[in-house]
Structure 1
Amino acid sequence: METLPIVPDAAVGAARHIDEYAAAGARYVTTGQQGAANTQRAYAGDWRRFTAWCREHGRESLPADVLTVAAFVTALAEAGKKVATIQRHCAALSKAHQLAGLPTPTDDRQLKTLLEGISREKGVRQKQAPAFTLAYFKRVLQGIDVERLDGVRDRALLLLGLAGAFRRDELASLDLAHLRFDEDGLVVELPRSKTNQKGEAEEKAVFFSPDRRSCPVRAVKDWLAVLEQHGRTSGPLFLSFHKGQRLSRRRLSTFSLNEIVQLRLGAPYTAHSLRASFVTIAKLNGADDAEVMNQTKHKTTDMIRRYTRLDNVRQHNAAQKLGL
């Protein structure tokens, strides 16, 4: 394994050396981290931020001692950064040291105590994408103007996103070649996902709905017919539009996809609400964890419980089953 060079003590604070570390460290972190693309970019940015902070304060970034990391973490907390953001920075620093074959300072017990104190003071509750009800979702679908091309696209995107419990990067990366139709509906091949970084075979099943107005399979077919009319028989599934409803050749970005969801469903919701709502609606309709995990591709039931948005005390409550 190629290792990052160590700066002699006398060179600590030299901008030239630190900048070299920032560039090399960001590359190593991006290459070595086997998570999702968004996580890779975040880790690389976190590493650059840490090395810049070290340069400003005349500290060594690699290897970094515990006091340096503790000071950096405290600075993030004092700057109002969220607990999850601070934890991600620590994960990025740990990854950089691991890839360089160096002990990671984030394993230090005192640093862990510091992080626990920050978590207690700031609170660790993460802001979660809200889930919508099925009734609300159907009302939104009925309000979409399918006489417009972007209406046909957005209807297919929303229905497929919900029925397939897709992450937004999965949804944005779908190609026409990933779709396979049969008499039961649609099978979508996922060449890569957050939990499947090695490209192993992974599929999602989407079924015909009795109500054509809310049928994800028919909605996707309607969109495919639009693409075919414009000569698009391969490439990205979801494309952007130029002004005047002119179809472009550009794949929808995850940012644009999120904007579409918020435009159609309303500001409180995000693209991740499609996935969270799948879990919540499925659980309310009696699906067990194994059935839900078969579609979401979660690895543990703990994640299913975390994704389930059951805020009403009367929802999914065993008190209804006492037989009184």
Structure 2
Amino acid sequence: MTDDDMVVDAELVEDGRLPAIPEDRTPAVPLADEDPDAWLPPEAQEDVQAGIPETTSNAYEGDMRRFAEWCEVVGRRVMPAAPQTVTAYMSHLKRTPREKTGRPYGPNSMDRIIASIRSSHRAAGFKPPDTMGARKVVAGYRAQLAASNDPAAQVQKASPADRAVLRAALAKLDRSTLAGKRDAALMLLGHALASRGSELVPLDWPASFTEQPDGGFKVRVFRKKRKVWQNVSVVLDPEPDLCAVRAVRALATALALEGHCEGALFLRMDQWGFLAPPMTRHGKPIGDPEGRMTIEAASDIVQRSIERTGLPGRWRSHSSRRGFVKSARKAGVDIVQIGRHGGWDDKSKALIGYVDEDDAQGESNPLAQIGRAAAAEREREG
């Protein structure tokens, strides 16, 4: 499973972006005709839309666009879709390589596409199609991949960028340049905050930062998964090259020299180091008008910076979050303290999974502990 294979649970509302119902097809009975109360006023539709993450909405829109294109090719109705249409589409997806990856969609992506189709029907006021057959296709596909030990059946997690990895990556970085200062600050602050890329790129200087008497600062972070704000204390690091506080201040100073004294901390730059260069697609402006970088750009920076070291792994912006857990465990920090600093719920299965994976590879491995205990017992007996 890739980052694109995340299953999301949300309902879309009519916003004008759904595929049109072909005029030569007879639609099913809208829900409002079956139930007089099956409708929402415009303000309620807006409230529902506001509760759907932008990435989720974009994923659903893309899913429906591709579904509509396939329906046009095979001569099937897009909406309301027949159950057999959705089943046939899932069968098509499991057999058809994607242009981007050269492989078919994974089962988790197909689950999301089914959810997209059902949600889009509800948004347009139609009863969603029965998807039992489609889900059986996906279940069989998942079992097939697992039995063949296909990597597509495995969750592809970001590799942890702990202090050792960051130290190696920063040694390859030219921190005298503006881009180098930005990249260093991004990786170190991501590690210090245990942040996702989606929590890191919205930070503003100086609005998101509050100076502290100990020389560090508190950072106001919105934890997207839990939908809560958190003030995270970031202290000075005894190793200057790995100090997020110093790196952020160095970046802020360099940005001020370029006339950027407040606003987005992490800005896009072109190959010559110019800030917030205009971006267009098909002649239309794209990207944040203030130059704030995207989550994908943050991941690209982490990947590019660490790959220079030759270290194997899958490096993304999430590597900093995972790396924080690994660094903290190496330092003997309690898992509850780790979770609360990084904005995890006290019973987070994701955090426990990270800790279990790291412990299994280190001195906390149960077999390693058994071996040490046995060796100590033999030493006492001898």
Both structures adopt the same fold (TM-score exceeding 0.5)? yes
User: d(CA) in 2 for partners of 1:90 and 1:33?
Assistant: 22
- The one of 245, 252, 261 aligned to 1:233: 261
The alignment status of 1:157 with 2:181, answered yes or no, reads no
The one-letter code sitting in structure 2 at the alignment partner of 1:183 is P
User: d(CA) in 2 for partners of 1:73 and 1:65?
Assistant: 13
CA contact (8 A) 1:240 1:247 kept: yes
Q: Percent identity?
A: 27
Unpaired segments ≥5 residues, structure 1: 14-27
Distance 1:132 1:33, change over 3 A: same
CA contact (8 A) 2:161 2:324 kept: no
**Match in the other structure for 2:248:** 220
- Name the structure with the higher helix share: 1
The alignment status of 1:211 with 2:252, answered yes or no, reads no
Q: Structure 2-normalised TM-score? A: 0.69
Distance 1:316 1:61, change over 3 A: farther
Larger Rg: 2
User: d(CA) in 1 for partners of 2:266 and 2:322?
Assistant: 21
User: d(CA) in 2 for partners of 1:245 and 1:133?
Assistant: 28
The one-letter code sitting in structure 1 at the alignment partner of 2:137 is L
Question: What number of residue pairs does the alignment pair up?
Answer: 306
- The one of 2, 11, 19 aligned to 2:25: 11
Deviation, structure 1 residue 54:
2.1
**Match in the other structure for 2:294:** 253
User: d(CA) in 2 for partners of 1:34 and 1:316?
Assistant: 41
User: d(CA) in 2 for partners of 1:118 and 1:170?
Assistant: 34
**Match in the other structure for 1:278:** 324
The one-letter code sitting in structure 1 at the alignment partner of 2:121 is H
After the TM superposition, which of the residue ranges 244-253 and 208-217 deviates more from structure 2? Answer: 244-253
The alignment status of 1:134 with 2:188, answered yes or no, reads no
Unpaired segments ≥5 residues, structure 2: 1-11, 28-44, 97-103, 147-152, 277-289, 309-313, 375-382
- Residue 136 of structure 1: SS of its match in structure 2? helix
**Match in the other structure for 1:16:** none
The alignment status of 1:68 with 2:85, answered yes or no, reads yes
After the TM superposition, which of the residue ranges 133-142 and 242-251 deviates more from structure 2? Answer: 242-251
CA contact (8 A) 1:181 1:187 kept: yes
User: d(CA) in 2 for partners of 1:250 and 1:33?
Assistant: 24
User: d(CA) in 2 for partners of 1:160 and 1:5?
Assistant: 42
Alignment of 1:1-324 (within 5 A): 11=25, 32=49, 34-79=51-96, 80-105=104-129, 108-123=131-146, 124-176=153-205, 177-184=207-214, 185-191=216-222, 193-196=224-227, 200-248=228-276, 250-266=291-307, 268-299=314-345, 300-308=347-355, 309-310=357-358, 313-321=361-369, 323-324=373-374
The one-letter code sitting in structure 1 at the alignment partner of 2:115 is A
Deviations 1:153-207 (CA, angstroms, capped at 9, x unpaired) = 21111100111122112222221111222134222223572442xxx53333322
Q: Structure 1-normalised TM-score? A: 0.80
Deviations 1:21-73 (CA, angstroms, capped at 9, x unpaired) = xxxxxxx89x7383432222111100111122223223233332321111111
Deviation, structure 1 residue 317:
1.8
CA contact (8 A) 1:131 1:277 kept: yes
The one-letter code sitting in structure 1 at the alignment partner of 2:53 is A
